[in-house]
Amino acid sequence: MQNALGPIGFIGTGQMGLPMALNLLAAGFELKVWNRTPSKADELIAKGAQRASSPADAVRAGGIAITMLADDAAVEEVAAGTDGLAARLGAGGIHLSMSTIAPATARRLASAHERYGCTYVAAPVFGRPDNAAARQLVICTSGPAAAIARVRPLLDAMGRAVFDFGEQAGASNVAKLCGNFLIAAAIEAMAEAFAMAEKSGLDRNQLATMLTKTLFAAPVYQRYGEMVAAKRHTPPGFRLPLGLKDIELVLATAGAAQTPMPLAAILRERIIGGLARHREAMDWSALALGALDDANLE
């Protein structure tokens, strides 16, 4: 099956893209890879991938291209235009876009791909770099069913579960933004609770252990609860500026749908406050430090 798909173009081999691409290689897929910083693809080249000279050079006509890039602008830059992925893929090609971007951007890109006869599939992921390395990503898809079926072996090689949200291009991006909003809200809620506990004389780590083994025994609370309780936000798996990007996408999407999300607005201000305190190199869980600032805790 791997050889039947032919060489896969993989664009974006950063913190998330690298382990995802390594899993594809381990599953026997051929890869041609590109990253803006070429050295970030060196491990893949050493393990048998080909190096592309440009994003378009990474893909073949009628083939499959995967992008795992930082934001909407980066995806549109490599995908659109006369020298973009869509033009290079052409008839029968598929662009599997795994970045967290706006639903509106996904819809715009889907239309652009149609003009070249190729298909855009949105497949944003839930998980951090270690989840990607362990092939434990949760992947949300949306787009034409036949195209999703064609790329399913690739998704199975990178994740543990795939949830499809139908044919509408931006649907899975809405699902992804809903999830990220809930994660950020959980971080803020734990930050406030642990700050109150600490100021009341409790051991915040002991409280986190109790809560995440009983009432909140779920991966998000367990993982982020430990980080928030311990006030440990480095090394970053997902940097604070990217968290701001995602929350702003949540607010823009909510605005377009005329859906008030006051908590998302609070989260945006919390993250901006953290960036104002020069926390841009920290994990986005560092938004929790705002509760310590407010409570005059170290």
Catalytic residues: 176
* b (16+ CB within 10 A) / e for 243-254: bbbbbebbbebb
Given a contact cutoff of 8 angstroms between Cβ atoms, the answer to whether 95 and 8 are in contact is no
Sort strands 125-126 and 137-141 into parallel, antiparallel or unpaired: antiparallel
Residues pairing with 121 in the sheet? 96
Cβ-based burial of 217 (10 A; exposed 0-12, middle 13-18, buried ≥19): exposed
Sort strands 64-67 and 31-34 into parallel, antiparallel or unpaired: unpaired
Residue 143, Ramachandran bin (φ over 0: left; ψ between -120 and 50: alpha; else beta): left
Given a contact cutoff of 8 angstroms between Cβ atoms, the answer to whether 158 and 259 are in contact is no
Helices (H), the chain: 2-5, 17-26, 42-46, 72-79, 85-89, 103-115, 129-133, 145-158, 171-199, 204-213, 219-230, 240-256, 262-276, 289-295
Amino acid at 4: A
Quick one: how far is CA 283 from the chain centroid? Answer: 14
> Which pair of tokens denotes residue 143?
């787009």
